[in-house]
Amino acid sequence: MKACATAVFFLLGYVSHFSLACPPLCKCYPRRAEVVCNNIPLTAFPSEGLPRNTSTLTIQFTNITSITEQDLQATPHLKELHLFSNRLRNLSSHLLRAVPHLVTLDLTGNKLTHLPADVFSHAPLTSLVLKNNLMEVVDARWLPDNCNLTWLDLSGNRLTKIPADFLQKMPHLENLDLSNNLLEKISANSLDQLTKLDRLNLRNNKLDALDASLLGSTRNLTYLFLSRNQLSHLPENIFQELTQLQHLSLDDNKLSSIPTGLLDHLTSLDDEGLDLTANPWICDGKMEYLFRWLQKYQKKLFLPETITCSGPQSLKTRAVMTLTESDLNIQS
């Protein structure tokens, strides 16, 4: 009983200390060892008063413009740091050296343009979100070799390329989001080390071609988003290793036809898992392969009735599903 009472007394003292230590303009939740700072007047990292045992820290919608390694020394046990929708412009080199247990870092919606070398080293990060910033380049020197990242979100920036040496530092990556950038090309060997990749989002970029070997090592992909690019053709064998793929979006590109055999290896597609809408399909003899595939696997298509012909003039706006062999001048 005495030992139990002592433990309860210690716990109450800890909770009380956590509550009393809460910084101004922040709220502290002792049971979860969590602190939330959600105030526009906040202009500097609230290092003074943060409970040292804080494991989750959220700072959002403030006017903070920079964070340093020294700031984070106040929370050595931190596991999650959420810094979205602030005005961050600068992060210091070796930023995470003071938080050796950090696994999640979210920097969504800031003003970051350039980051220093080793900014994400020294912590076992598994999730890194840099969504909706102003970055035009990424640098392999940000990360340690063979880093632990499984989730990387770089969507909504101004990237025109993604260096292969940057991606090759992340062999454990499962989710890679590069959507809503300005990517013009993905080099052939960029994804070679990403053998555990499950989800790849390249939506809304400026890609006009994909190398035939780009996806050769990503056999575990289940979701691939390529919509809203400028793809006018696809290599015949680009999807041949993707036998686990459940969803493929190719909508809003410039595809007028696809090569024979392109879809043959996609045996795991979900119902409505293939999106081919909003492409300028030319309904002539080159359409034969897609025409026959659509007839056989109609359930795999998303909104099949909206896959329509852009030419020739006699078939313009006709749904491909309603065509006949005669329309396409092919023999049965």
CATH class of the 178-332 domain in this structure: alpha beta
Collect the ranges in the chain with pLDDT lower than 70. 1-20, 332
Question: Which pair of tokens denotes residue 43?
Answer: 């202009």
pLDDT digits (tens, 9 = 90+) for 217-245: 999 999 999 999 999 999 999 999 999 99
Give the model's pLDDT for residue 20.
59
Give the model's pLDDT for residue 325.
87
- Distance linking the first and last C-alpha atoms of the chain: 87
Q: Which CATH number fits domain 1-134: 3.40.1000.10, 3.40.630.30, 3.80.10.10, 1.10.150.120?
A: 3.80.10.10
Q: Where are the domains of the chain?
A: 1-134, 178-332
1-134 and 178-332 in the same fold: yes
Give the model's pLDDT for residue 21.
75
Buried b / exposed e over 95-121, threshold 16 CB at 10 Å, is bbebbeebbbbbbbbbebeebeebbbb
pTM of the model: 0.92
Query: Are β-strands 26-29 and 34-37 bridged in parallel, bridged antiparallel, or unpaired?
Result: antiparallel
Beta bridge partners of 37: 26, 59
How far is residue 311 from each of residues 167, 318, 326, measured CA to CA in Å? 40, 9, 15
